Amino acid sequence: MSSRRLSTVAAAALLLGGVAVLGLSACESGSPSAQLAVETTLKVEGMVCESCEGAITAKLTSMEGVHSAVLSHTEKTAIISYDPGQTSTQELIAAIEKLGYKASE
Protein backbone atom coordinates (compact mmCIF):
# COMPACT_ATOMS: atom_id res chain seq x y z
CA MET A 1 0.00 0.00 0.00
CA SER A 2 1.41 3.40 -0.91
CA SER A 3 2.25 5.81 1.87
CA ARG A 4 -0.30 8.31 0.53
CA ARG A 5 -3.04 5.67 0.53
CA LEU A 6 -2.01 4.56 4.03
CA SER A 7 -2.19 8.16 5.26
CA THR A 8 -5.66 8.54 3.77
CA VAL A 9 -6.86 5.31 5.39
CA ALA A 10 -5.34 6.31 8.73
CA ALA A 11 -6.91 9.78 8.61
CA ALA A 12 -10.32 8.35 7.74
CA ALA A 13 -10.13 5.81 10.56
CA LEU A 14 -9.16 8.49 13.06
CA LEU A 15 -11.94 10.80 11.90
CA LEU A 16 -14.43 8.01 12.37
CA GLY A 17 -13.13 7.35 15.88
CA GLY A 18 -11.56 4.10 14.79
CA VAL A 19 -8.28 4.34 16.66
CA ALA A 20 -8.57 0.64 17.49
CA VAL A 21 -8.95 -0.15 13.77
CA LEU A 22 -5.37 0.96 13.30
CA GLY A 23 -4.14 -1.10 16.23
CA LEU A 24 -3.40 2.03 18.23
CA SER A 25 -4.23 2.60 21.87
CA ALA A 26 -5.80 5.85 23.00
CA CYS A 27 -4.29 5.31 26.48
CA GLU A 28 -1.05 3.76 27.61
CA SER A 29 -2.63 2.07 30.61
CA GLY A 30 -5.13 -0.73 30.30
CA SER A 31 -7.01 0.15 33.49
CA PRO A 32 -10.66 1.18 33.07
CA SER A 33 -10.21 4.54 34.81
CA ALA A 34 -7.30 5.47 32.53
CA GLN A 35 -9.50 4.90 29.49
CA LEU A 36 -12.10 7.43 30.65
CA ALA A 37 -11.51 10.92 29.40
CA VAL A 38 -13.70 13.95 29.85
CA GLU A 39 -13.18 17.17 27.95
CA THR A 40 -14.18 20.44 29.52
CA THR A 41 -13.89 24.02 28.35
CA LEU A 42 -13.17 26.61 31.00
CA LYS A 43 -13.26 30.39 30.71
CA VAL A 44 -9.95 31.88 31.84
CA GLU A 45 -9.63 35.60 32.54
CA GLY A 46 -6.30 37.36 32.86
CA MET A 47 -4.31 35.69 30.09
CA VAL A 48 -2.70 38.32 27.88
CA CYS A 49 -0.07 36.42 25.90
CA GLU A 50 1.39 33.06 24.89
CA SER A 51 3.52 33.00 28.05
CA CYS A 52 0.33 33.02 30.11
CA GLU A 53 -0.97 30.11 28.04
CA GLY A 54 2.31 28.25 28.54
CA ALA A 55 2.33 28.72 32.31
CA ILE A 56 -1.21 27.40 32.69
CA THR A 57 -0.63 24.55 30.23
CA ALA A 58 2.47 23.45 32.14
CA LYS A 59 0.61 23.50 35.46
CA LEU A 60 -2.42 21.60 34.15
CA THR A 61 -0.47 18.94 32.26
CA SER A 62 1.66 18.27 35.34
CA MET A 63 -1.47 17.32 37.28
CA GLU A 64 -2.28 13.65 37.71
CA GLY A 65 -5.08 12.62 35.37
CA VAL A 66 -4.74 15.51 32.90
CA HIS A 67 -4.19 14.20 29.37
CA SER A 68 -3.99 17.52 27.53
CA ALA A 69 -4.67 21.23 27.83
CA VAL A 70 -5.10 23.67 24.95
CA LEU A 71 -5.28 27.31 25.95
CA SER A 72 -6.06 30.47 24.01
CA HIS A 73 -5.46 33.91 25.46
CA THR A 74 -7.38 35.46 22.57
CA GLU A 75 -10.43 33.25 23.12
CA LYS A 76 -9.92 33.27 26.92
CA THR A 77 -10.47 29.50 27.04
CA ALA A 78 -8.85 26.32 28.27
CA ILE A 79 -9.90 23.03 26.68
CA ILE A 80 -8.80 20.27 29.02
CA SER A 81 -8.99 16.49 28.61
CA TYR A 82 -8.76 14.63 31.91
CA ASP A 83 -9.62 11.45 33.79
CA PRO A 84 -12.46 12.27 36.21
CA GLY A 85 -11.32 9.41 38.44
CA GLN A 86 -8.07 11.27 39.12
CA THR A 87 -9.05 14.96 39.13
CA SER A 88 -12.07 17.20 38.84
CA THR A 89 -13.15 20.42 37.20
CA GLN A 90 -12.96 22.12 40.60
CA GLU A 91 -9.32 21.01 41.01
CA LEU A 92 -8.50 22.28 37.51
CA ILE A 93 -10.07 25.65 38.29
CA ALA A 94 -8.22 25.82 41.63
CA ALA A 95 -4.88 25.11 39.90
CA ILE A 96 -5.47 27.90 37.37
CA GLU A 97 -6.53 30.34 40.07
CA LYS A 98 -3.48 29.48 42.18
CA LEU A 99 -1.43 30.92 39.29
CA GLY A 100 -3.33 34.22 39.58
CA TYR A 101 -5.91 33.81 36.81
CA LYS A 102 -9.70 33.67 37.15
CA ALA A 103 -11.29 30.45 35.87
CA SER A 104 -14.90 29.30 35.61
CA GLU A 105 -17.09 26.76 33.83
104 sits in which H/E element: strand 102-104
Domains in the chain: boundaries: 1-28, 31-104
Average pLDDT, the chain: 80
Report pTM. 0.67
**Average pLDDT of 67-92?**
97
pLDDT (0 to 100) of residue 47: 96
CATH topology of domain 31-104: Alpha-Beta Plaits (3.30.70)
**Average pLDDT of 48-72?**
97
pLDDT (0 to 100) of residue 35: 60
